[in-house]
């Protein structure tokens, strides 16, 4: 892309937002002015520049994208969405171990638009994630992946299982080992519920987020920090596109996990390297 195009699109919020508003079809300038909340006189020079570069057609007060404009906007929208997601907290993303996300999902991070960053208040620092407890209080569906352990997780999983909803649950080998050694009764009780399917990720080389929890309307995503610790900062989004992104990420790991139907299955009690259990 020539430098003039980069300047045209990225160095003016008005031009960028104007083009994005046209991606769904022609719009009247007065409607655009209302949506962008900018003075008409300040928008007209930007419209002129976009028209001169062949990105839009103006017919009176109606504007629409040209074929070239459509091509540009289709590429521009994901870039803008990704920038908005990464802008929620610069330090958070810089300090994350981002390779715990598969590259195909990291490249779609813009689908998490509308998300926010949450961190428990000091009085809840030793509690289970309040947002997860709230999201799964009365869910119509639930999907969860955990690669770190919390002592309240067994009872929480059991409470969700008792609701009778379909509940696929993925654990890494380290977390599942804690069930085998310290919470065996709860693990056996969870497996008794026909609505629950438990899967174990046995490949210690597979990078995994600390948390992926999805209800019918909420995605909660936890990523390890660069020191490979779960530090209780989470990305939360209630946007349908983010929930769908989370469902597909969950399916990615489910396809690579082993289904568990009994704690007595061969191989489940074999020792594992201590570094695979993420705290």
Residues 130, 231, single domain; the answer is yes
58 with 105, same domain? Answer: no
Q: Give the pLDDT confidence of 183-197 residue by residue, as tens digits.
A: 999 999 999 999 999
* 159 and 243 both lie in a single domain: yes
User: Quick one: pLDDT at residue 274?
Assistant: 42
Same domain, 159 and 141: yes
Indicate which CATH number applies to the domain containing 198: 3.30.870.10
Q: What CATH number is given to the structural domain containing 62? A: 1.10.10.10
Count CA atoms closer than 13 A to 208's CA, side-chain side. 31
State phi, psi for 108 to the nearest 5 degrees. -110, 25
Contact 26, 64 (CB under 8 A): yes
User: What's the number of CA atoms in the CB half-sphere (13 Å) around residue 204?
Assistant: 12
pTM assigned to the model: 0.81
Q: Strands, DSSP E only, in the chain?
A: 27-28, 56-59, 62-65, 116-118, 143-146, 167-172, 196-201, 211-214, 219-222, 234-237, 258-260
First vs last C-alpha separation in the chain: 45
Closest CA to 26 of 75, 76, 60: 60
pLDDT tens by residue, 29-47: 999 999 999 999 999 999 9
Asked whether the beta carbons of 136 and 161 are under 8 A apart, the reply is: no
Q: Are 99 and 234 contained in the same domain?
A: yes
* Cβ atoms within 10 Å, residue 196: 21
pLDDT of residue 28: 95
Same domain, 189 and 95: yes
Does residue 177 sit in the same domain as residue 137? yes
- Within 8 A by CB and 6+ apart from 174, the residues are 147, 149, 272, 276, 277, 278
- As a dihedral over the C-alpha atoms of residue 232, residue 218, residue 221, residue 231, rounded to 10 degrees, the angle is 0
Q: Which of 208, 200, 163 is nearest to 179 (CA)?
A: 200
| 76 and 113 fall within a common domain | no
Task: Answer with the one of 59, 81, 103 that is the final residue of a domain.
Answer: 81
The total of structural domains in the chain comes to 2
Where does a domain end: 36, 64, 81? 81
pLDDT in tens, 194-233: 999 999 998 877 889 999 999 999 999 999 999 888 888 9
Residue with tokens 């210690």: 204
Q: Are 163 and 66 in the same domain?
A: no
> What are φ and ψ of residue 200, in 5° steps?
-120, 130
Q: Residue 27: CB partners within 8 Å, gap ≥ 6?
A: 21, 62, 63, 64
* Domain endpoint, select from 81, 101, 121: 81
Residues 75 and 121 in one domain: no
Q: Please name the residues in contact with 121: beta carbons below 8 A apart, sequence gap of 6 or more.
A: none
- Claim to verify: residue 59 and residue 96 sit in the same structural domain: no
Q: Say how far apart CA 66 and CA 45 lie, in whole Å.
A: 18
Residue 255 domain boundaries? 90-276
pLDDT digit of tens for each residue in the chain (279 aa)?
455 666 666 667 888 899 999 998 999 999 999 999 999 999 999 999 899 989 999 999 999 999 999 998 888 888 889 988 998 888 999 999 998 999 999 999 999 988 999 987 777 767 888 888 888 988 889 999 999 999 999 999 999 999 999 999 999 999 999 988 899 999 999 999 999 999 999 887 788 999 999 999 999 999 999 988 888 899 999 999 999 999 999 999 999 999 998 877 645 544 444 444 343
- Residue 277's SS3 state is coil
Judge if 203 and 267 occupy the same domain.
Answer: yes
């Amino acid at each position: 892309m020539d430098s003039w195009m980069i300047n045209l699109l990225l160095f003016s919020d008005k031009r960028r937002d104007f083009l994005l508003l046209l991606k769904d079809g022609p719009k009247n300038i007065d409607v655009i002015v209302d949506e962008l909340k900018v003075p008409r006189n300040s928008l007209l020079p930007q419209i002129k520049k976009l028209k001169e570069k062949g990105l839009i057609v103006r017919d009176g007060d109606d504007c629409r994208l040209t074929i070239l404009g459509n091509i540009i906007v289709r590429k521009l929208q994901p870039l803008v969405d990704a920038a908005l997601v990464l802008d929620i907290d610069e330090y958070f993303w810089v300090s994350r171990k981002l390779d715990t996300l598969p590259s195909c999902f990291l490249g779609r991070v813009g689908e998490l638009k509308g998300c926010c960053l949450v961190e428990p208040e000091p009085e809840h620092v030793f509690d289970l994630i309040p947002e997860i407890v709230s999201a799964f209080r009365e869910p119509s569906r639930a999907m969860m992946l955990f690669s770190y352990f919390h002592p309240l997780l067994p009872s929480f999983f059991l409470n969700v299982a008792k609701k009778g909803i379909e509940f696929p649950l993925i654990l890494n080998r380290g977390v599942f080992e804690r069930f085998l050694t310290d919470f065996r009764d709860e693990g056996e009780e969870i497996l008794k519920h026909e609505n629950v399917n438990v899967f174990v990720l046995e490949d210690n080389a597979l990078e995994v987020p600390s948390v992926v929890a999805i209800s019918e309307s909420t995605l909660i995503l936890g990523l390890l920090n660069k020191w490979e610790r779960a530090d209780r900062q989470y990305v939360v989004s209630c946007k349908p596109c983010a929930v769908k992104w989370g469902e597909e990420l969950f399916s990615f790991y489910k396809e690579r996990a082993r289904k568990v139907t009994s704690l007595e299955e061969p191989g489940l009690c074999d020792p594992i390297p201590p570094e695979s259990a993420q705290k």
